[in-house]
Every structure is written in structure tokens, then in C-alpha cells.
Amino acid sequence: MLARPVDFMESALSLAGLALGYTSPNPAVGAVVVRDGVVVGLGYTQPPGSVHAEVMALHQAGDRAQGATMYVTLEPCCRQGRTPPCTKAITDAGISEVHMALLDPNPLVSGRGLKQLEEAGINTFIGDHEEKAREVNEGYIKFITTGLPFVIAKFAMSLDGKIATQNGDSKWISGDEARNFVHYLRHIVDAVMVGANTVVVDDPQLSARGCSGKGGKTRLQPLRVIVDGRGRTPLSARLFAEPGKTLVAVAKPFDAKKAEALRKAGAEVVEVTAEGDTMDLAELLSMLGKRQVTSVLVEGGNTLFGSLFDSGLVDKVLAFVSPIIIGGDGAKSAVGGHGVGVVAEALRLERAKISEFGEDVLVSGYLGGK
């Protein structure tokens, strides 16, 4: 049986995956240096202010980089930031050929890195595994082109579409494998968002636990964002005892005494424009973008999901479906809000995929061509 040829760009993408959760607001990039068919250098983006993937791979390759080929998941940077431009490091190392999965959409870079390499006489190729490269950096791409975070709606539901029983019990609809994957998702995003009712009913921790370090108390945690117009979040909520920061978004104007009590509990309180009980979630997302939050994992509940979908603010859906039937006219479905009037107007996932997590099935996809 013939051995499968090595896909060097696939290897670079695997390396980029190791950087997810540690590089924001920078992209997560992987790089592989190959000489005479042998890998001589591997690298992935280090935390902001440290070395980029290309430089890490070149350091490992050393003199063997001369005349070698580099496979990199994103166009090398071409400007002086907190670190020198990668295009110069590549040129100085004597790399003869560079394969890029994707051009960097950053307006300060896009196409300029490619041009610098070509002007230095380096052969360049673009587009290898482009779709996968986009997926790895979908949060960065949305943020760098719009200033807004990439919004992921994640929920678990029964086969009949329920997220809890009519008595409010939801532990646990999904199995261990699915829940472990959610901790990985919390590990790679910048923020986790829920509505106040989810905190009142479920008392979640909303922290990344496990995941090779980020879940530990000495590592960064995703920002916890509670959408709580009326300030119903209990001061005894477990999430206040978790490592990391909590932000409570309340309706403007907000009661000063309630705000102070939330601050004493450990939260930052921000006021958001609201009309009745409906908060301006686009304004909230814009606030988060200004804080360099590139991605938000929304975990419920029904009302928050409804508002986000009605406003067209969701970029990606991750829906776990468990092979159970809950029933009950009063049991909530995953998405509330106004919805659509006819099925023909229903939001449809694009590039939909189906994956298995134990007995559960994950349906994932993107909305509105995103």
C-alpha cells in the first residue's frame, strides 16, 4: 500500500489550530518550511507581541531555510508592528518559494506581503486549502474587515426542538462529548454571552475548563457577557467566583444602586440603548469590537437568540441535536423572537456540515453568505 503524500499546507493548518485561543486580536497562523521534501521548520503564532508563525518556523529551520519552500496559512505580514515584518525574515532566510492558503484581509497588509515576496524574486502560490484557512480565522476576518466580533450561536436541543422541559430543567440535553467540545469553543473565543434568564435558571460558570491550560486559573478566560436589561443577575451567581472578567450589559438608563451592587460582586456594568425590554444588541457588539473582542460564543437563551437572529447579527450556528424527545407545550425551543411569517423566509444555513459527538449530532453552518 502506497503511503499518502504529505500535505504540507494541511500540516500548517493543524499548527494554526494550536494558536487558537492565544493570539487574539491577531490571526492564528501556522507555517511549515520544507527542503528537499523534508520538513525542517515548524511554527505557529505566539501570543501578541511575540514571534509570528513564519519566524518561529525559520528559527527552527536555521541555515536549512536557504532554497526551501514555506507553506503558510495566511499571507505574511509586511509592516513593522510590535514585531518586524515576516516578509523581510522570509527574504533574508533565502526561502525560494511560498505557498499561502489565504491573502490577509487586513487592509494594511492585503496583497502587499505577496507583492514584497514577488519583488524579492520568491515564487508565490495562493489558495491551497483556502476554505479551511478562512474557517480557522473566521473571527479575525470578520473583526479586521468590519470592527465587529464574529457571532456564533450555540445551543443544544432535543429531537423535537426543545432546550429544556416545561419545568425549566435542561441538565443535560447533550452528552459528555458535546459538552467537552463546548469547553474547547470557550477556549478559542474571546467572549461567551448569555441572557439574564440563563444565569437565573441555570447558574452557569461560563468558563473554559480543561483545554490544555487555558481553562486553568492561571490562564486567560473568555470575557463573560450577560445581557441583562433589568439587572436580574443574582449577586450570588457562580460565574462571579470564576477566574476572568464578567461584563453585565444593562438597559440605559440603569439604577445606580443595582449597578454598584453588580460592581461589588465583580462585574463591569455597561449601559446599552434599549426600547422597552429590547436591548440594542448591535450597539453592544460594537462596544465589544472596540475592546478588540473578535469572536463571541452565544450560549442562550431563547429570548437572546431570538433578538440576535431577528436582527441578522448571527454569523454561524452550532446546533447540537440529542436523540431524545422532551415534549410539552410549555417547553421552550432554542430560538424565540419574532421569527418569520412563512417558511420560504426561513434563515437557511450555508456550507452546512454534520458531525457526531457520541450520541449527539452537531449541525453547523453559516448565515447570509458569511
Q: Which residues are catalytic?
A: 54
Among residues 64, 12, 58, which one has the least CA distance to residue 38? 64
* Helices of type H across the chain: 8-19, 53-61, 86-93, 112-119, 130-136, 138-146, 176-188, 196-202, 256-265, 281-290, 302-310
How far is the C-alpha of 54 from the C-alpha of 77, rounded, in Å? 10
Cα angle: 285, vertex 287, 288; to 5 degrees: 65
How far is the C-alpha of 304 from the C-alpha of 153, rounded, in Å? 10
Rounded to 10 deg, the angle between the 86-93 and 112-119 helix axes is 20
How many CB atoms neighbour CB 317 within 10 A? 23
How many CB atoms neighbour CB 340 within 10 A? 12
Strand order, beta sheet including 150-158: 267-272, 246-251, 223-227, 191-195, 295-298, 150-158, 316-322, 360-366, 350-357
Which grid cell sits at 262? 453588580
- 17 by Cβ neighbours in 10 Å (0-12 / 13-18 / 19+) ranks as middle
How far is the C-alpha of 38 from the C-alpha of 21, rounded, in Å? 29
Which grid cell sits at 95? 526561502
